[in-house]
Amino acid sequence: MSTQKTPITVARGDGIGPEIMDATLRILEAAGARLDIHEIEIGEKLYNQGIMNGISDESWDKLRETKVFLKAPIFTTMGGGFNSLNVTVRKTLGLYANVRPCVSYHPFIKTNFPNMDVVIVRENEEDLYAGIEYSQVDGAVQSIKMITRAGSERICRYAFEYAKANGRKKVTCMVKDNIMKMADGLFYEVFQEIAAEYPDIEQERYIVDIGMARVAANPTEFDVIVTENLYGDIVSDIAAEVTGSVGLGISANIGESCAMFEAMHGTAPDIAGQGIANPSGLLLGSIMMLTHIGQGDVASRVHNAWLKTIEDGIHTGDIYQEGISKQRVGTDEFTKAVIERMGQKPETMAVKDYPSVAGGLKLPPLKQRDVVGKTLIGADVFVEWRDADRASGSDALANIARQALVEGIDLSIISNRGTKVWPDGQAETFCAPLWRLRYKSTNGQEVMNSQVTKMLDNLYGVGLPFVKVEKLYEFDNGKPGFTKAQGE
């Protein structure tokens, strides 16, 4: 066991952040954690100083230097305002895997599922969290869902390696590939490829909506769940709440060289400053940090003291239950109770004994793949047009759009909000003023770039300026680089 102190960066965050971080650091100190703590300020205080990304250059330096970050929750504006600093930190430091264990503490914390022990492995860098959004037409917005083969491979590999290292039996993939056939289809395709390398681990797939419903109704069916960023965010809050409180949820963000540990919940503005927040999520996150930096002895001490406190019925308001709990306490009393039990072990729940091995899972390099060639066969051109709001009015738009045609390209369909509205548009089909004109080569052959740009020029000429263009490719492996419109 090394007596050397490990440098870590700490941020106290916003809302209940300072209260739960103070509690966590007091418990870690009492447990003899060997930490060289570097504090940084991020979040609301910096926004108020006009630092709109919420973090200074010096803090970035500190994070890159220490490589380990214990972070309290930070405030993010809803709707407009600044971008989420959480997402920025995760992506900038390459923290691709978000690991969220959700465990029940029956019979000491009320839950309908005494044996629940689910780990959610959430992709942490891609998906709708890329935050790439556009509005080229007043009243219509598009968000880009970014899924890559590399991102999917890393997270699926992580899930299986995690399962292998932790004696887990099953990995469940949750996707919505019946609707997002390309994005979620790619994620699931990669999942299957990686799963084939782990024949000893059971694999299954759920469409995410019924998958989440099952997590809420019968979480003991699940072991490890791997999923995309947004689904992972939602399903892990459901799972944490099912264990008894979102205040118990842990979030470990793991990258190749850096790692960040936090509570799953947010800044809880409704209870901030009242001294009643449950510090358990952040504390349990710090236990994952201690195992990551090789201080398994301290991690075991803290975890056992925390379990004993929970067993003794000393509970914060969010988990307090008449008939189960013994004492309703605030953050400070809860902290003192854990410190008083340092060195003790739980009597009913399993005693923790973590190994002292530093570093997380080491993943093999990404699979090498040949780059597949592609052929340009047309373009989807988005235009703003306000002369009709029903599909039955789209003939007029088609007539103008056809005037822009160049040799070798034809108007194939028009769609609106993803549904085909021309030809044969129906009077019932409502349309937004953002229309998609699908132009394709007449003979299925390659289209030249110059033909597309000429057509875009022509559209200006006929009074239909384009607001966005997506090129249509066909890949040499036979895969189209675009989906059909609904009804196409």
Inter-residue contact 244 to 231 (CB < 8 Å): no
State yes or no: residue 19 binds ligand NAD (CB under 6 A).
no
**Per CB under 6 A, 44 contacts ligand NAD:** no
Interface stretch with ligand NAD, choices 70-78, 142-150, 431-439, 449-457 (CB under 6 A): 70-78
Cis peptide bond N-terminal to 107, omega within 30 = yes
CB atoms within 10 A of CB 297: 18
Residue 294 within binding range of ligand NAD, rule CB under 6 A: no
Q: How far is the CB of 422 from ligand NAD (least distance, A)?
A: 42
Contact with ligand NAD (CB under 6 A) among 281, 296, 378, 425: 281
Residue 473: which of 238, 202, 229, 182 has the closest Cα? 182
Instruction: Please identify, using beta-carbon distances, which residue of 232 and 296 lies nearer to ligand NAD.
Output: 232
Q: Under a CB-based contact definition with an 8 Å cutoff, are residues 474 and 481 in contact?
A: yes
Based on CB atoms, which residue is closest to ligand NAD, 28 or 421?
28
Does residue 109 bind ligand NAD (CB under 6 A)? no
Nearer to ligand NAD, 17 or 425 (CB): 17
d(CA 40, CA 54): 11
Is 89 among the residues that bind ligand NAD (CB under 6 A)?
A: no
Kindly state the number of chain residues that form the binding site for ligand NAD, as judged by CB under 6 A. Answer: 20
Calculate the CA dihedral of residues 378, 384, 388, 392 and round it to 10 degrees. 20
Looking at 9, 59, 66, 86, which residue binds ligand NAD (CB under 6 A)? 86
Min separation Cβ 316 and ligand NAD, Å: 6
| Chain residue at closest Cβ approach to ligand NAD | 266
**Out of 24, 152, 278, 335, which residue is the one contacting ligand NAD (CB under 6 A)?**
278
* Cα–Cα distance for residue pair 117/334, rounded to 1 Å: 24
Interacting span for ligand NAD (CB under 6 A) from 73-81, 120-128, 195-203, 406-414:
73-81
Q: Pick from 195, 224, 246, 250: which binds ligand NAD (CB under 6 A)?
A: 246
Closer CB to ligand NAD, residue 97 or residue 175? 97
Which two tokens mark 309? 């406190």
* Closer residue to ligand NAD (CB): 131 or 418: 131
* 137 near ligand NAD (CB under 6 A): no
Sorted by sequence, the CB contacts under 8 Å of residue 173 that are 6+ apart come out as 156, 187, 188, 191, 195, 203, 204, 205, 206, 225, 226, 227
Q: What angle do CA 293, 297, 298 make, to 5 degrees?
A: 75
For residues 316 and 327, what is the distance between their CA atoms, to the nearest angstrom? 8
Give me the DSSP letters along 53-85.
TSS-HHHHHHHHHH-EEEE------SSSSSPPH
Chosen residue from 270, 322, 407, 428 binding ligand NAD by CB under 6 A: 270
Q: Which of 63, 277, 388, 472 binds ligand NAD (CB under 6 A)?
A: 277
Cis peptide bond N-terminal to 101, omega within 30: no
Residue of 47, 75, 187, 261 interacting with ligand NAD (CB under 6 A): 75
Residue nearer to ligand NAD on the CB measure, 109 or 421: 109
Tokens for 322, please give them.
């008449």
Q: Within 196-270, where are the H helices?
A: 208-217, 229-243
250 touches ligand NAD by CB under 6 A: no
Q: Which two tokens stand for residue 120?
A: 């959610």
- Residue 268 as a binder of ligand NAD (CB under 6 A): the answer is yes
Q: Using the rule CB under 6 A, is 370 a contact of ligand NAD?
A: no
Sole window of 71-79, 147-155, 403-411, 416-424 interacting with ligand NAD (rule: CB under 6 A): 71-79
Cα gap 260→246, rounded to integer Å: 19
SS3 call for 112: coil
| Minimal distance, residue 358 CB to ligand NAD, in Å | 25
Using rule CB under 6 A, residue 10 touches ligand NAD: no
Task: Give the footprint of ligand NAD on this chain (CB under 6 A).
Answer: 16, 73-76, 86, 246-247, 262, 265-271, 277-278, 281, 318
